Chains A and B, each alone.
Chain A
Amino acid sequence: MSTELAVSSPLDGEVPGGAGRRGRGGLLTPRRSNILLVLAACLLAPTVIGGSVGQATGLAMTQLFHPASALLLSEAAAIAIAALALNLLTGYAGQISLGHAGLLGAGAFAAGLVTGRLGLPFWVGVPAGAAATGVISLGIGLPALRLRGLYLAMVTIAFGYLMYSSVLRLDFFTGGSAGVILPRTLWGKHQLIENADWLSVPLICLLIAWLIDQNVMRSRLGRALRAIRENEAVAQAFGIDVARYKLLAFVISGAMTGAAGALYGSAIGFVNSETFPFTLSLSLVIMIVVGGLGSRSGAAISAILFFLFAYLLEGLPFPWLKGLDGIVGAVLLMYTVARHPGGFASVISELREGRRPKRATSDDEEPPMPALPNLPRPEGLGARPAGDGAGPVLEVQGVTVRFGGLVAVDGASLAVPRGKIVGLIGPNGAGKTTLFNAISGLLRPSAGRVVLNGHDVSALPAHRRAQLGIARTFQQIGLARDQSVLENMLLAQHLLAGYDSGQALLRTPRVARQERELDERARQAIAALGFAGRENVPVNRLSHGQQRILEVGASLLTDPELLMLDEPSAGMSPAAAENLAERLRDLRDVLGRTVLLIEHHVPLVLDVCDYVYVLNFGQILAEGTPDEIMAHPDVIGAYLGESEAVAV
C-alpha cells in the first residue's frame, strides 16, 4: 500500500531537459518563455524606480493600474509564489504539507521585524522573511525524514495550528500590539506608497520564483526530488541522498513561502495573527491539487485564478455569490482527487494529446535485448576512488540480517572477482534479495562486513555505496516509472553531474553545459537500446521486457564497478531469456563489467556464470563453478530436485 500522493505526469511543457521537445514545436518552449519572462521583468523594473521618485516620469504603473486592482494583483502574485513553493515540495518531492500558511505568516512577521521595526528597506525584509522560514522549514523537514504520507500530513497540520494559535501571537513578533506593520521602504525615506508602484515587486519575485522552479526541474536536483516521490529505494540506488534532498526541498519551499508571506504582508501593509488563518494552508493544497500536482503552470495559474475568483464573486451584483469560492474550491478538490488525480494540468495535456491508451505498447511485445551500449565515463565529471584492481570487486563477509526474530540471511559470505559474472541462486524466500539489499545498503545487516574494492562500506548508506560504484536493478523495475524514458536516463546519471544544488537553482553556465552533455549521453544510450523516438514516453507505458532493458541500460549509465541484477529474466519468455544470456555475457566480455546475478532461471545461471553461490534458508549451502554446482548432492537434493537436475 502506497501512502504517497498519486500524481500523473505533468504537462509535457514542463518535463526537465528542455531539449527534450525539439521538434514538438510548442509555442512556449521553456527557452522562449524564459526570454519572454525576462523581457517582462525588464519592462517592469523601471517602474519601481519611477514610482519611488514621485512619478516624475509620468510612466509609472500608477497610470496602468487602478490602486485596488494593483493591490489585488500583488496579493495574487504572492499567493502564486506560495503555491509554486508548495508544489515544489508536494508535487515534485511528494512531501505533503498541511501547514504552509504558518510559513507564510512567519515570513511576513519576520519581514515586518526588519522593515517595520528596524526600518530597513523591503529588499532586505523579503529575503529576511525567506531566510527565517527556510530555517523553520528545515525544522519541519527533520521529522519528514522519518515520517511519510499521512504521518507527515499530521505533523504539518499540527505545525500549522501551532503557528496560527501560538507562535504568530507572540509579543516578540507583534510587539504587544495587534499586529505588524510592513512599510514598503525602497531606500531612506522613499516608500513605494502607490499599490501600482509596488506591483512590480511581487511580479518580479513571481518571475524569479518561476525561473528558480524551472531551473530546479531542469537539473539533477529536480530529478532527485521526483525520484524520491516515486520510489526512495530506487532513488538511493541511483546515488541520491534522500535525506539531504528531502531537507533541501523543505528549505527551498519554505524560503519561497516565507518570501511570499513577506510580499503578501507588504502588499496589504499590516499583518496580524488572523491574516494567515489555519485554513489558508488547505487553500494552498486545493490550488496545487486542482491545478495539477507537479505542474508549475497549473499551480501558479490556479492560485491566481482562485484568488481573483473570490474578488470576482464579490464584485458581481449578486450578493449570494459572495463567499462561494471556498465551497467551489473544496468541491473541486474532492472531485479532482476522486476523478482526476492529475488535476487540471493533466486534463489539458490529455486534451492536447488526444486520449491515448494507457500503454503505448502491449505486454506481449517482448523485444530481444539489444547490444548494450558502452558509454565512456564523461570527462570532467565526478570521479570515484578505484580499487587496486587485484582483489575482488566485492567481498561479503559473514553478513547476517535479522527481521525481529527471523534470521533472513545467516552469516553469508561471497566474493565477486573483477570481470566475472557470479550467480546467486536459491529457492523462494532463501534471502537472496535481502542479501542484495544488505550489499547495496538498503538494509543494515546485524553482523558482517561488505567490502567494495578493498574498502569496508558496511557503515555507508545506500547512496554512498552507489557513489562508490554499486549499481543494482530491482525485481519490480528500478526506474521512476511515471517519468519518461529520457528523464530516467538522466536520473541514472545523477552522480555524474558535477554541480551542486546552489548552481542548479541559478542554472549557471556550468550546469547548462553539463546538462547538455548528460542529455547527449542519455540520448545515445536510448538510441542504442532501441528506444529512439520514444524519449518522452512514460516508462510505465512500455512493456515489462522493455522496462527491463531500460533498467539495465540505466544502471550501466552509472558506470558501475559492480552491477547487481535481481532476477532480470523474471517475466521473460524462454526466447527472451536466451537472448538475455547473450547480453549478460556481453556485459562481461565486451563491456568488461563485473556482475552479481540473482536468478530463478537456473539454466541461465549455469550457462553464463563463472561461479555460483547457492543460498538456502539464509545460509550459503554450496558454491563452485556451474559444473560443480550441477553435481553437488546438497544442491540437487535441497533445491533443484532430481528430475530437474537431469533436465539441466
Chain B
Amino acid sequence: MIEAAVIGIVTGAIYGLIALGLVLVYKGTRVINFAQAEIGGAGLYLAYICTSHGLPWIAAAVITIAGAAILGIVFERLIVRPMGDAPRLTVAVATVGLFFALFSLEFYFFGQSPEFVAPPITGRGIEVAGFFIGPMVLLSFVVIAALAAALTAFLRYTDFGLGVLAAAQDATAVRLIGIPLGRLNMFTWGIAGALSAVAALLIEPQIGTVSPGAIGEPLFLGGLAAALLGGLTSLEGAFLGGILVGVAQSEAQHLLLATGFPGISAVVLFVIVLLVLLVRPQGLLGTLRARAEIGGAVT
C-alpha cells in the first residue's frame, strides 16, 4: 500500500514533467501539444544509439535532452509560428501530425523489436520503513526537484522568464511593450521538448524497454490527466496533478491486480480526464478563464 504510493509518487512526478510541458505550451500558445510525450519517447532512441556506441548514460542523456529541445524549437518555427492565429484545434492537429511522424520514424528505423537503454545507476537502493526505494526512484526525485526549482526560479526571477509568464496572461500586451513573442514561444516549445526527454529518460527504467509509442503513449495520457487535474494553466498544479494521478494509478493497480482486469492504469486516466473536464474543468489550481474556454461562449 505504502510502497504503491511511493511508486505512484515517483511516476506521478514524471507525469508532472510532461504536464509542465503541456501547461507551458498551453499557456503560451493555447494549444495542447499531443506530441508532448512522444518527443521524449523518440528521444530515447537517440539515448539508445548513444549508449550502444559506448557513451556513458549521462552524456547520452544530455544529447537526448538537447535533441528534444531542438525538435521542439524547430516544430515551433516550422509549423506553429507560420500558422499564426489559425484555430487552436487546427494547430493541435498539427501536433497530432508530429506525434505520428515521430512514431512512424521510430517504427521505420527501429521496427517493433524492443531496445534497451541501460539505467545510469543500479543497486538495491535504500531501505525506508521496511521496503526498498530503488536508485532510479531516488535519482528521479532529485532530478525532478532540481528541475522544478530551477525552472520556477528562472520564470520568476529573470526578465525572460517573467516575459514568458506575462505572455501567457496577455500575449498582445506583451507584444505591444516590445517583448519578442516569437522568441518566448520558441523557448517554451524548447523547454517543453527538454522536459519531455527528461521524463522519458526517467520513466524508461520502469517500463524497461523502448519500442515505438510504448513510452510516449502512457506518458502522454498520464501527463494530460495530470495537467487537466492541476488546472492546465498552473505550473504547481501540473506537479500536484501528476502526483495525484500517479498515486491513484498505482494504488488502483495495487488493489485491483488480483482481479486480472487489463489496463487498470488506462481506466484510471480516462476516468480522471473525463471527471475533471465534466465536473471541474478549471482543475484544482486552474483559473476560471480555462473554464470559459472549454464550452465556448454562447454567442
Contact = CB atoms under 8 A, between A and B. Distances in A.
Do A and B interact with each other, yes or no? yes
B262 A338 contact: no
Contact of B295 (A96, A148, A337): A148
Contact of A147 (B32, B221, B294): B294
B145 interface: no
A412 interface: no
A285 B97 CA distance: 9
A151 B277 contact: yes
B98 A326 contact: no
B187 interface: no
B228 A154 contact: yes
A170 interface: yes
A5 B47 CA distance: 36
Interface in B1-58: 30-32, 34
B104 interface: yes
Interface stretch (A45-53, A161-169, A217-225): A161-169
Contacts of B273: 154-155, 158
Nearest to B31: A150
A176 to B, nearest CB: 10
Interface residues of A, number: 58
A146 interface: yes
A443 B298 contact: yes
B178 interface: no
| Residue with the highest number of chain B CB atoms closer than 10 Å, among A150, A157, A433 | A150
Contact size range, B = 35 or more
A312 interface: no
A490 B80 CA distance: 37
B264 interface: yes
A612 interface: no
A233 B30 CA distance: 23
Contacts of A338: 79, 82-83, 94
Contacts of B121: none
B299 A150 contact: no
Nearest to B101: A330
A323 B93 CA distance: 22
Contact of A149 (B108, B224, B296): B296
A164 B224 CA distance: 17
Interface in A329-357: 329-331, 333-334, 337-338, 341
Given A282-B96, A286-B100, A323 B107 contact: yes
| Residue with the highest number of chain A CB atoms closer than 10 Å, among B91, B99, B100, B267 | B100
Given A165-B263, A433-B299, A155 B281 contact: no
Given A96-B89, A146-B278, A158 B262 contact: no
Contacts of B87: 1-6, 149
Interface string B216-235: 01100100110010000000
Interface string B72-83: 000000010011
Interface in A161-201: 161-162, 164-167, 169-171
A6 B84 CA distance: 13
Nearest to A169: B262
B294 A278 contact: no
B159 interface: no
A282 B293 CA distance: 24
Interface in B256-290: 260-267, 269-270, 273-274, 277-278, 281
B242 interface: no
A459 B93 CA distance: 38
B239 interface: no
A442 interface: yes
Contacts of A34: none
Contacts of B96: 98, 282, 285, 333
Contact of A333 (B83, B97, B263, B278): B97
A334 B98 contact: yes
Nearest to A334: B97
A480 to B, nearest CB: 15
Nearest to B104: A326
Contacts of B228: 154
A151 B274 CA distance: 10
B97 A286 contact: yes
Contacts of A324: 108
Interface string A99-138: 0000000000000000000000000000000000000000
A467 B99 CA distance: 45
A474 B269 CA distance: 41
B227 to A, nearest CB: 9
Contact of B101 (A162, A166, A334): A334
Contacts of A327: 101, 104-105, 108
A150 B97 contact: no
A501 interface: no
Given A285-B96, A324-B108, A338-B82, A155 B274 contact: yes
B93 A337 contact: yes
Nearest to B297: A233
Contacts of B217: 161, 278
Given A146-B295, A338-B79, 7 more contacts: A165-B262, A166-B261, A286-B97, A327-B101, A338-B82, A338-B83, A437-B299
Interface of B: 30-32, 34, 79, 82-83, 86-94, 96-101, 103-105, 107-108, 213, 217-218, 221, 224-225, 228, 260-267, 269-270, 273-274, 277-278, 281, 293-296, 298-299
21 contacts: A1-B87, A1-B88, A2-B88, A5-B89, A6-B90, A149-B88, A149-B296, A151-B294, A158-B225, A161-B270, A162-B270, A166-B264, A169-B262, A170-B262, A285-B93, A286-B100, A289-B93, A326-B108, A327-B105, A330-B101, A333-B96
